[in-house]
Amino acid sequence: MIDRVRTARVIGGSLGGLLVANLLWRAGWDVKVYERSAQGLTGRGAGIVTHPELFEALRQCGIKLDDTLGVRVKSRITLAPDGTTIGELPMEQVLTAWGQLFERLRRALPDACYVNGLGGLSTTECDDGVFLHRSDGQTEKIDLVVAADGIRSGLRAQLAPAVLPQYAGYIAWRGLVDEQSITPATRDLLFEKFAFCLPPSEQILGYPVAGPNNQVDPGNRRFNLVWYRPADEDLALKDLLTDHSGQLHTGGIAPQRIRPEVIANMRQAAHDLLAPQFAELINRVEQPFFQPIYDLNSEQLHFGHTVLLGDAAFVARPHCGMGVTKAAGDAVSLVTHLNTASTIKDALAGYSAERVQFGQAVVSFARQLGAYMQAQLRTPAERAMAERYRSPEAVMRETASSQVFSIDKTQPIKHTTYQE
Ligand SMILES: Cc1cc2nc3c(=O)[nH]c(=O)nc-3n(C[C@H](O)[C@H](O)[C@H](O)COP(=O)(O)OP(=O)(O)OC[C@H]3O[C@@H](n4cnc5c(N)ncnc54)[C@H](O)[C@@H]3O)c2cc1C
């Protein structure tokens, strides 16, 4: 055991980085978060499904859990393309928003621990720690680097260059609609529910989240939409990612740069394919945006005194609604191991073994849930899963469901009918 204050630098100041930084700070570490973005991250992101493991991590970060954290729904509903209800399932869940979690986690951490406009570039190991080379040209020697720098992690590219995101063959259109702009009929049918519609090879889902200023009172909330659509990598995806000047944005296109005709085509498709209630909602989204869907699987999360965490470590397709909860579980696991192991290296090895098992299980299960939307189904197993998740019952029971996952880290998944 080291008998001085231990030093950690967290690279990436989004939800994963803030979760681990808060826990390390509470455990007595000298911790600093380096976030590349100079402007600050508020206003990013959309709806987030919650699970008990996320609440537990927030509690450990000292965050009060009350009714303002999100909007509670009691059931799920599936609409047919003609707008009739073809399935309903009781399932209580709290839906929150990225901004709500970010603000609470950021407020919980002292300002001196969070630095905007500074990047972590690379690391060099030494016997008793690690040198972190920063974007301002400085190098510091510290005990621990946590790479929470997302799916395109620069530190992972240095430490595990073979681990790359794999495009899943479809995208997710996303958007938020103000509660007050929704017609009363659609609002009454959908707003208090987690709702789905399943046109052939597509899926749209929606649920209520807090309003623009985090209001959760009726009338001031918003409805969060996620619409999965197949997009072949070579043609359709490239076209979607190309802006009006012809520039291709391979890593993701900013909402303002999406070509107007791409948005017009998407709205027309909503009219042609979706239940009219969902088409209405899609039409009312002011600034739709889309994200290509990826899988990212790691074999190892520890490299000397550096670890990968959150989306830098694993990215599961969003159908499990587990991205933030997994980052929270990573953070709790890492700090628990650091608190109990006799050396930092032992702690990081213990963390890696535990979270690789969990991460791989989530990625694999999310693949099953998403097979229905893939532009190409490559194996009989993928075709079997695509068939299974045509059924509204299976989709409502297993999408973003807290019951499918166990918090017991040795039993990540209860459901399993499919071996890859
Ligand atoms: C369509 C869709 C729906 C989703 N729905 C849900 C959901 O319902 N529930 C859920 O839990 N999750 C959901 N997610 C996933 C969720 O958004 C992420 O899993 C979660 O935000 C954890 O991300 P992170 O903090 O690890 O990385 P990120 O949020 O990607 O943050 C990485 C941060 O690192 C910074 N950075 C990058 N490089 C550097 C550098 N060199 N130096 C310093 N900083 C750097 C970036 O600026 C960024 O702020 C969804 C994702 C998608 C695409």
pLDDT at 248: 97
* Ligand 1: nearest atom to the Cα of 45: 17
Does residue 371 fall inside a structural domain?
A: yes
- Shared domain check, 21 and 160: yes
Task: Say if ligand 1 is within 6 A of residue 412 CB.
Answer: no
Does residue 384 fall inside a structural domain?
A: no
Residue 375 pLDDT grade (very low, low, confident, very high; cuts 50, 70, 90): low
- Shared domain check, 227 and 80: yes
- Shared domain check, 267 and 192: yes
pLDDT at 42: 65
3-state secondary structure the chain: CCCCCCEEEEECCCHHHHHHHHHHHHCCCEEEEEECCCCCCCCCCCEEECCHHHHHHHHHCCCCCCHHHCEEEEEEEEECCCCCEEEEEEEEEEEEEHHHHHHHHHHHCCHHHEEECCCEEEEEEECCEEEEEECCCCEEEECEEEECCCCCCHHHHHHCCCCCCEEEEEEEEEEEEEHHHCCHHHHHHHCCCEEEECCCCCEEEEEEECCCCCCCCCCCCEEEEEEEEECCCCCHHHHHCECCCCCECCCCCCHHHCCHHHHHHHHHHHHHHCCHHHHHHHHHCCCCEEEEEEEECCCCCEECCEEECHHHCCECCHHHCCHHHHHHHHHHHHHHHHHHCCCHHHHHHHHHHHHHHHHHHHHHHHHHHHHHHCCCCCCHHHHHHHHHCCCHHHHHHHCCCCCCECCCCCCCECCCCCCC
- Shared domain check, 213 and 75: yes
Does residue 260 fall inside a structural domain?
A: yes
CATH of the domain at 268: 3.30.9.60
- Is residue 324 over pLDDT 60? yes
Residue 379 pLDDT grade (very low, low, confident, very high; cuts 50, 70, 90): confident
pLDDT at 87: 94
Lowest mean pLDDT among 36-50, 210-224, 309-323, 387-401: 36-50
Mean pLDDT score, 29-37: 97
Mean pLDDT score, 277-298: 96
Q: Do 412 and 406 contact (CB within 8 A), yes or no?
A: yes
- Shared domain check, 353 and 226: no
pLDDT digits (tens, 9 = 90+) for 213-236: 888 899 999 999 999 999 999 899
pLDDT digits (tens, 9 = 90+) for 136-168: 999 999 999 999 999 999 999 999 999 999 999
Mean pLDDT score, 227-253: 94
**How far is it, in rounded angstroms, from Cα 197 to Cα 395?**
10
Total domains in the fold of the chain: 2
Residue nearest to atom 30 of ligand 1 (CA): 150
Lowest mean pLDDT among 83-92, 217-226, 375-384: 375-384
Mean pLDDT score, 267-293: 97
Among 319, 313, 300, 295, which Cα is nearest to 395's?
A: 319
Provide the CA 304 distance to its chain's centre, in angstroms: 27
- Shared domain check, 151 and 195: no
Claim: this prediction has a pTM higher than 0.75: yes
| Signed CA dihedral, 184, 188, 189, 193: sign only | positive
Which of 270, 294, 318 represents a domain boundary (last residue)? 294
CATH of the domain at 317: 3.50.50.60
- Shared domain check, 305 and 217: no
- Shared domain check, 212 and 243: yes
pLDDT at 410: 42
- Is residue 135 over pLDDT 70? yes
Tokens of 393: 């019952």
Mean pLDDT score, 311-327: 95
pLDDT at 1: 54
Mean pLDDT score, 284-297: 95
Query: Domain residues for 265?
Result: 67-99+167-294
Task: Say if ligand 1 is within 6 A of residue 276 CB.
Answer: no
Q: How many angstroms separate the alpha carbon of residue 315 from the centre of ligand 1? A: 9
Tokens of 39: 């402007």
Residue 319 pLDDT grade (very low, low, confident, very high; cuts 50, 70, 90): very high
Which of 268, 294, 320 represents a domain boundary (last residue)? 294
Residue 138: partners with Cβ closer than 8 Å, 6 or more residues away: none
- Is residue 66 over pLDDT 60? yes
Q: How many angstroms separate the alpha carbon of residue 286 from the centre of ligand 1? A: 23
Which of 196, 324, 358 for a ligand 1 pocket mutation test, highest count of atoms within 8 Å of Cβ?
Answer: 324
- Shared domain check, 246 and 201: yes
Q: Any idea of the CA torsion for 210, 212, 213, 217, to the nearest 10 degrees?
A: -40
Q: Do 25 and 337 contact (CB within 8 A), yes or no?
A: no
Q: Any idea of the CA torsion for 159, 148, 228, 225, to the nearest 10 degrees?
A: -170
pLDDT at 417: 32
Tell me, what amino acid is at 280? Answer: E
Among 54, 46, 50, which Cα is nearest to 71's?
A: 50
- Is residue 79 over pLDDT 60? yes
Q: How many angstroms separate the alpha carbon of residue 292 from the centre of ligand 1? A: 14
pLDDT at 412: 42
pLDDT at 44: 62
* Ligand 1: nearest atom to the Cα of 15: 25
Residue nearest to atom 3 of ligand 1 (CA): 318
Does residue 410 fall inside a structural domain?
A: no
Which of 9, 32, 48 for a ligand 1 pocket mutation test, highest count of atoms within 8 Å of Cβ?
Answer: 48
- Shared domain check, 363 and 320: yes
- Is residue 406 over pLDDT 70? no
Which of 247, 265, 294 represents a domain boundary (last residue)? 294
- Shared domain check, 122 and 94: no
Residue 371 pLDDT grade (very low, low, confident, very high; cuts 50, 70, 90): confident
Residue 44 half-sphere exposure, CB side, CA atoms within 13 Å? 12
Does residue 180 fall inside a structural domain?
A: yes
Does residue 323 fall inside a structural domain?
A: yes
Task: Say if ligand 1 is within 6 A of residue 175 CB.
Answer: no
pLDDT at 377: 74
pLDDT at 115: 97
Residue 405 pLDDT grade (very low, low, confident, very high; cuts 50, 70, 90): low
3-state secondary structure 168-214: EEEEEEEEEEEHHHCCHHHHHHHCCCEEEECCCCCEEEEEEECCCCC
pLDDT at 351: 98
